[in-house]
């Protein structure tokens, strides 16, 4: 998982504060729970971590893009996941 302050630091160019990261995650989870009865990320202590549903959804969309011939840039282990 990642701390909201670490996520905000990676998104510094967008000027997002750590509390805004938490609010956006909660709002996103609320919408997905309403639509799909599943959440993408969950709280683990002070950190946020992707659920298995989130990982599967991310992999599926990446695979779909590759099938369509869209080139994806590679990312390091730390950058893979939701916070890309």
For residue range 14-63, what is the model confidence (pLDDT) as tens digits? 999 999 999 998 998 999 889 888 888 898 888 889 888 888 877 877 77
Is pTM, for the whole model, over 0.75? Answer: no
Is residue 45 domain-resident?
yes
pLDDT per position as a tens digit, 15-25: 999 999 999 98
Is residue 65 domain-resident?
no
Domain count, the chain: 1
Is residue 21 domain-resident?
yes
Is residue 63 domain-resident?
no
Residue range of the domain that includes 24: 4-50
DSSP strand pairing (41-44 vs 47-50): antiparallel
Is residue 8 domain-resident?
yes
């Amino acid at each position: 998982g990642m701390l909201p302050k670490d996520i905000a630091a990676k998104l510094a160019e967008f000027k997002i504060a750590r509390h805004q990261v938490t609010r956006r995650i909660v709002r996103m989870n609320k919408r997905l729970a309403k639509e799909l009865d599943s959440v993408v990320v969950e709280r683990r202590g002070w950190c946020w971590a992707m659920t298995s549903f989130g990982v599967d959804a991310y992999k599926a969309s990446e695979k779909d893009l590759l099938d369509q011939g869209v080139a994806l840039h590679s990312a390091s282990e730390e950058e893979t996941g939701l916070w890309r």
